[in-house]
A and B are shown apart, each in its own frame.
Chain A
Amino acid sequence: KQEVTQIPAALSVPEGENLVLNCSFTDSAIYNLQWFRQDPGKGLTSLLLIQSSQREQTSGRLNASLDKSSGRSTLYIAASQPGDSATYLCAGVRGGSNYKLTFGKGTLLTVNP
């Protein structure tokens, strides 16, 4: 069974700081990995999708990497802003079941002005 772990569970940083969120997964057969953002009372917004053949994806101030051999993904946020405050979730998809997202519990990020 695929297990996805996110560390830390919560993170508080001052505005402008660069930060890294970590995601680890137990199944090396992971097909791709997605990072989502969830605001309180809202649904999930997809941030980045990294396919199994890729090592990283970038969107604006966000950069996500995927290392299948070590079972890890990181989400790097540059020059954090108060508007980045949210819960960040990573989710993996296993090869052969290329639709069923397995989520971690998320990291609650607070960026203080």
Chain B
Amino acid sequence: GAGVSQTPSNKVTEKGKYVELRCDPISGHTALYWYRQSLGQGPEFLIYFQGTGAADDSGLPNDRFFAVRPEGSVSTLKIQRTERGDSAVYLCASSLRGSVNTDTQYFGPGTRLTVL
């Protein structure tokens, strides 16, 4: 079946602009996660959704970052007033229930964000 998809695959923007990154999880997965991967680093957790609600947003770096999942499926990560330090690959993952004891998180290909 279809995996996790993310659009766009690449996004180049100018400092100060607003960007939206989209994630389509695997159908039927109730849990959705966003991670950020900087060059040479492992992914870092940003936010976790269970259904429509953000169960844990402790990884969001500041209030310029916001994410929504209004219908419990597609999620959008929104970044306001982008800064050069926001440049990274933004990864989305989904899992069936969100209980990682038996769940596996399935990752999308990521969106590479470049802020000039």
| Chain B contact residues, majority secondary structure | loop
Please determine whether A99 and B42 come into contact, CB atoms closer than 8 angstroms. Answer: no
Interface size class of B (residues with CB under 8 A): 20 to 34
Shortest distance in angstroms between B38's beta carbon and chain A's nearest beta carbon?
10
| Chain A contact residues, majority secondary structure | strand
Tell me the B residues contacting A by CB distance below 8 Å.
4, 31, 33, 35, 40-45, 48, 55-56, 59, 91, 93, 95, 98-110
Please determine whether A46 and B104 come into contact, CB atoms closer than 8 angstroms. Answer: yes
**A11 beta carbon closer than 8 Å to chain B:** no
**A72 beta carbon closer than 8 Å to chain B:** no
Please determine whether B44 and A42 come into contact, CB atoms closer than 8 angstroms. Answer: no
Please determine whether A32 and B105 come into contact, CB atoms closer than 8 angstroms. Answer: no
Shortest distance in angstroms between A77's beta carbon and chain B's nearest beta carbon?
19
A35 to B55, CA, bound (A): 25
Given A99-B48, A99-B56, A99-B98, 8 more contacts at CB 8 Å?
A: A36-B107, A43-B110, A46-B105, A49-B104, A51-B102, A98-B101, A105-B40, A106-B42
